[in-house]
Amino acid sequence: MNTSNPEAHSNNSPMMSLPQALEKILNSIKPIEATESRKIMDAFGRVLAEPVKSPINVPPYRNSAMDGYAVCGSDLPASGEVPLKLIGTSWAGTPFAGEVHAGECVRIMTGAKVPEGADTVIMQEDVRAKENEITIGSGHKIDQNVRHIGEDITKGNVVLQPGKLLKAAELGLLASLGIATVKVRSQLRVAFFSTGDELRAVGETLEEGQIYDSNRYTIYGMLKGLDVEIHDLGVIRDKREDVEAAFTKASEIADVVFTSGGVSVGDADFVKETLEKLGQVSLWKIAMKPGKPLAFGRIGKAWFFGLPGNPVSAMATFYQVALPALQKLMGQDICKPLTLKVPTLDRLKKSPGRMDFQRGILDYENEQLIVRSIGAQGSHILSSMSRANCFIILPAESATVEAGSMVEVQPFAGLM
Ligand code: AMP
Ligand code: MG
């Protein structure tokens, strides 16, 4: 720990608000610079590194929005009926080669090119058709059912900006423009390990006073939601050489290092010692619950996040603090997670001071969206995260919230 830092952790240091902490972190990091070219299917989940301009117009030709008949607008009757001579068919993929003149029409399919001379499409349901002639009535407008060149995208216009996360719609959009490869940010490399003498890996037998390491699995799971390169460095015992070796290795192979545990008061001193020796790291107390202690800084060239050890705290700080930082490091536009205002069916116990991220279940009751509490809110109760489907966010200054009050909820589904 950098003890010269005024925000260095001590028992009486002031708490930092979550927005303050986030602002500090986001201001001090910048996106990784490396980029690479990838085929669009291999670019799923990646972040675009350059603006994409459309090389073509979409649609590339005037085409029909309906199955029907392409006609000349000048033939549309203001009243009564008009017969038109059928001179051919325009299929999607096989356009009609000729020109449509006054008094003529062409059978046309959805997506087929509107032939020269025609400017209007009449739905097939609106005509009476004989073998080589159709009859149309009044009530039609020139230009109806015609999709115009460049109506969706104009050639040369920027369709995607750098920072855009490439998902299904973007892959399709790129393909619709005939773009085969794009320049994306290289994958962010993320290493993590757990610290604690009490921790055992799954597969080992628990002795008295030991627990299984779960944080590594939740951290792995949360990282899986992002397109990052994952390095799992296991459980590190509270031993000086081991901790130092783990930090050194992690900072050499990754752009970002996560640990969990060892950042609260009363932890084995050499975790702090090691951080002080290898990097510039501050320990913060963030005014959020769960998740008060958090370490942030640099180890070597890597960014470092020391998440709290309690499993729910580790998840809450990952989502609320680390995720926006990872998005920025990936070069992605930071997405503000979706929140909703809904009534709570339960009384939510709270004392003023910290911003609460209680676990809730967003559901319907009498066809109205509501939220219930999952009950016990201890930061060690990991099952609460599994039963819940949202955070209930209560502002720092808020005290206990009575049942029936409106509260802000953040669905887990919108977090990644
Ligand atoms: P610490 O921040 O190291 O004091 O840990 C706070 C609490 O979280 C303690 O009860 C630890 O046993 C627990 N804890 C720390 N790391 C983990 C982990 N990786 N998996 C599960 N629980 C943990
Ligand atoms: Mg510990």
What pLDDT, on a 0 to 100 scale, did the predictor assign at position 397? 96
Ligand 1 atom index nearest CA of 313: 8
> What gap in Å lies between CA 121 and CA 105, rounded to an integer?
9
> What gap in Å lies between CA 146 and CA 62, rounded to an integer?
7
The residues, ordered by sequence, that sit 6+ positions from 233 with a Cβ below 8 Å of its Cβ are 191, 192, 193, 246, 249, 250
Residue 238 — pLDDT band, cuts 50, 70, 90? Answer: confident
The pLDDT tens digits for 52-88 are 999 999 999 999 999 999 999 999 999 999 999 999 9
The DSSP string of 27-61 is HH------EEEEEGGGGTT-BB-S-EE-SS-BSSS
Q: Over pLDDT 70: what percentage of the chain?
A: 96
What pLDDT, on a 0 to 100 scale, did the predictor assign at position 416? 73
In contact, 325 and 351? CB cutoff 8 Å? no
Q: Tell whether the model's pLDDT for residue 7 goes beyond 60.
A: no
Assess whether the C-beta atom of 218 lies below 6 angstroms from ligand 1: no
- Give, in order, the Cα–Cα distances in Å from 153 to each of 32, 114, 120: 31, 19, 21
Predicted TM-score of the model (pTM): 0.88
Mean pLDDT of the chain: 93
Task: Report the nearest-CA residue for atom 6 of ligand 1.
Answer: 309
Ligand 1 atom index nearest CA of 194: 19
Assess whether the C-beta atom of 291 lies below 6 angstroms from ligand 1: no
> What gap in Å lies between CA 110 and CA 106, rounded to an integer?
13
Lowest mean pLDDT among 136-140, 234-238, 320-324, 328-332: 234-238
- Tokens representing 91 are 């299929």
What pLDDT, on a 0 to 100 scale, did the predictor assign at position 269? 64
Assess whether the C-beta atom of 198 lies below 6 angstroms from ligand 1: yes
What pLDDT, on a 0 to 100 scale, did the predictor assign at position 414? 85
Task: Report the nearest-CA residue for atom 17 of ligand 1.
Answer: 309
The pLDDT tens digits for 30-50 are 999 999 999 999 999 999 999
Among 119, 92, 91, which residue's Cα sits nearest to residue 105? 119
Rounded to the nearest angstrom, the distance between the alpha carbon of 311 and the centre of ligand 1 is 7
Assess whether the C-beta atom of 290 lies below 6 angstroms from ligand 1: no
The pLDDT tens digits for 320-361 are 999 999 999 999 998 899 999 999 999 999 999 999 999 999
Q: Is residue 204 left, alpha or beta, with left meaning phi > 0 and alpha meaning psi from -120 to 50?
A: beta
Rounded to the nearest angstrom, the distance between the alpha carbon of 37 and the centre of ligand 1 is 41
DSSP character at residue 105: E
Q: Which residues surround ligand 2, an ion (CB under 5 A)?
A: 196, 261-262
What is the distance between the terminal CA atoms of the chain, rounded to a whole angstrom?
A: 31
- Give, in order, the Cα–Cα distances in Å from 75 to each of 66, 96, 114, 121: 19, 20, 16, 12
